[in-house]
Chains A and B, each alone.
Chain A
């Protein structure tokens, strides 16, 4: 079956703009998590959604937000972009909420460059 699909794969924005990234989970998966990957900070958890509800949130400013739709697809938005937001944004899905017992399936990521 199809894996986790993230769009767009690459994008370039300028400071102050906003961006929306999309994630389509594996069919049947209801949990979606987002992570930011940078060379300096590594992989950091942004938030997790299950059945359209945010279940957990990482330590990021309010400029980072997300949502999940009834078909489990998810979007994340970053407003007022800063240079430090340049990163690979990874989406992961699982069949159950939480990562404790289940396996996370990751997409290939959306690489955001802020100029």
Chain B
């Protein structure tokens, strides 16, 4: 079945540092890929998405490129802020019998210090 693997966390960075959170996936067909973010005490919210190979999703300075050849969707940001501290989830929406649901990675806790 479909699966998503994220780099193990937590990740601790200083403000203005470069961020990479790795995400790889296994799926049949052509999934759509997402990054969701969960701030403390809040529900998940969509950060960015890509629906086909080589698409780049971007939002709030974050970027991720859909790489079908390496089945990856790594999240990057050039300069993190304290306000980026949150839990980040990589997810996919597959096709066939899994259509209609999201398969999530385990989540990566990001803490940014001033």
Contacts and interface: CB of A to CB of B under 8 A. Distances in A.
Nearest to B97: A56
Interface size class on chain B is: 20 to 34
Contact of B89 (A43, A45, A48, A105): A43
Interface residues of A, number: 25
Contacts of B44: 90, 92, 104, 106
Interface in A80-115: 90, 92, 97-101, 103-109
A16 interface: no
A106 B100 CA distance: 15
B23 to A, nearest CB: 13
B29 to A, nearest CB: 10
Interface string B29-44: 0011000100001111
A107 B101 contact: no
B106 interface: yes
Given A35-B104, A56-B98, 15 more contacts: A35-B102, A42-B105, A42-B106, A43-B89, A45-B101, A45-B102, A45-B103, A55-B100, A56-B99, A56-B101, A58-B101, A97-B100, A99-B101, A100-B51, A100-B100
Interface of A: 4, 33, 35, 42-45, 48, 55-56, 58, 90, 92, 97-101, 103-109
10 contacts: A33-B100, A44-B104, A48-B101, A92-B44, A98-B99, A103-B49, A105-B45, A107-B43, A108-B41, A108-B42
